[in-house]
Amino acid sequence: TLRTFARRGLTALAVACLPLITGGWLTGPQSTFDTKGPVAKAQLDVFYVTLWVTGIIFVLVAGILTYATLKFKARNDADEHAPVPPQGHGNPLIELGLIALSVIALVFIAIPTLHHIWYTYDVPEEEKATAYEVNAIGYQWWFKFEYPRELVADAPLTLANELVIPAGRAVRVNLRTFDVIHSFWVPKLAGKVDMMPNRANHLWLKADEPGYFWGQCAEYCGESHAVMRFRVIALNEADFAAWVAHQKLPGKPVTTENAKIQFASYKPLENKRNAPGWSEKFDADPFKAWTAQQLPEVGSAELELVNKGKAIFTAKTCNSCHAVRGDQPAAGNPIVPDLTHVGSRTTIAGGLLENTPENLHRWLTDPNGVKPGNKMYRGFTGGMNGYAKVDHDTNTVTGHNITVNDDEAR
């Protein structure tokens, strides 16, 4: 009946509008409509061209169909037995016209599409001189970012789950995978391009302003695909230089002097919180936590903490897989995250958790609860079947060669 039809129609409309009501659709942290760089902007432009062309066709076709349905439908029993009207079999003029219109519509979409495919493929010629270049490598389930070799003499500078870039500069990202197919996607900046086994893909991106931008693996890659995330952090030139300087330092501040240099190098970032383009809701809080973490005055108490952490790191053989550049040179299994300056990262566990002491504790004591199926949980000591055991009563985890309890993890 008409009433059922209307009710269903309204329900469908309400469901379709849900993303609009929640607002995530247009302004959320992974919105492709809220572009912050030229590549994402170009991709959005193509989307709008396609949307308009197909939208106009949809309105035309649906309009004619609705008109014909209402105008020519049988209105009563008498109509149903009326003689069948004359049946036409094709009209060459209309058919040719429709073919021509379809071709025009496709060409209209194809021209900007092809233009933008070339544009988004690689850094534009005029920006190549100032472009930055990094490697991004997908793993189940995290992203590794490798910086140019010349930055650090003894070992490559690599980050997990965070891609720090200079704002306002083109960045070429070489895309590789360690295992299965992943896809690199930063909705507000660029993507999606797959990271394929045995294939060298790349893309480029540019953040117009300093800021945080969420990234996400966009190709189903196993149990924890949905939580394979990362963050792009764009800094202005001065802050980026300070960040690089900080990253070049050895991983652990072993002297008060060294520690002071490390903490001081973050000071220029303190005001970033108030910079334009930082959304209160999504950006301010983690940054606040981050700067608070970076800026304490360094005293003997902090040094003692650092040394305690270092002792645990060694005692629990974290260093048998995880490298800390300059401090744990023997380690550095390339298939696990390098933990140099891990405290300076905003997130842990594949970009899933904010980097707070509570979350680190949660991650270490129940890695499988945080990110199902990950290798931190499986460990390699007993082969791939060496599952760790979590005892929730005592809050300890054994296996993976480690036992962590409350006190130590904090």
Q: Which is nearer to ligand CUA, 225 or 272 (CB)?
A: 225
In 3D space, the residue among 318, 399, 404 whose CA is nearest the CA of residue 365 turns out to be 404
Shortest distance in whole angstroms from residue 106 CB to ligand CUA: 32
* Residue 191 sits in the site that holds ligand CUA (CB under 6 A): no
Q: Does 37 bind ligand CUA (CB under 6 A)?
A: no
- Secondary structure (3-state) at 264: helix
138 contacts ligand CUA (rule: CB under 6 A): yes
Q: Which is nearer to ligand CUA, 185 or 263 (CB)?
A: 185
Q: How far is the CB of 176 from ligand CUA (least distance, A)?
A: 13
Of 12-20, 60-68, 214-222, 400-408, the window that binds ligand CUA (rule: CB under 6 A) is 214-222
Among the listed residues 40, 217, 242, 269, the single contact to ligand CUA using CB under 6 A: 217
Q: Is 221 in the site for ligand CUA (CB under 6 A)?
A: yes
Q: How many CB atoms within 10 Å of residue 312? A: 14
What residues contact 409, with CB distance under 8 A and at least 6 apart? Answer: 360, 361, 364, 365
**Strand 158-160 relative to strand 182-186: parallel, antiparallel, unpaired?**
unpaired
Considering the complex, state which of residue 161 and residue 294 has its C-beta at the smaller distance from ligand CUA: 161
- Taking the least distance from each CB to ligand CUA, the nearer of 175 and 323 is 175
What is each CA distance from 71 to 42, 187, 233, in whole angstroms? Answer: 43, 46, 59
What gap in Å lies between CA 43 and CA 120, rounded to an integer? 8
Given 48, 67, 220, 387, the residue binding ligand CUA (CB under 6 A)? 220
Report if residue 141 touches ligand CUA, rule: CB under 6 A.
yes
Secondary structure element (H or E) that encloses residue 193, with its range: strand 190-195
223 binds ligand CUA (CB under 6 A): no
What is the DSSP code (8-state) at residue 404? Answer: B
Prior bond of 141 cis (ω within 30°): yes
Q: Which of 215, 175, 222 is nearest to 195 (CA)?
A: 175
**Judged by CB under 6 A, does residue 219 bind ligand CUA?**
yes
List contacts with ligand CUA (CB under 6 A): 138, 141, 182, 217, 219-221, 225, 228
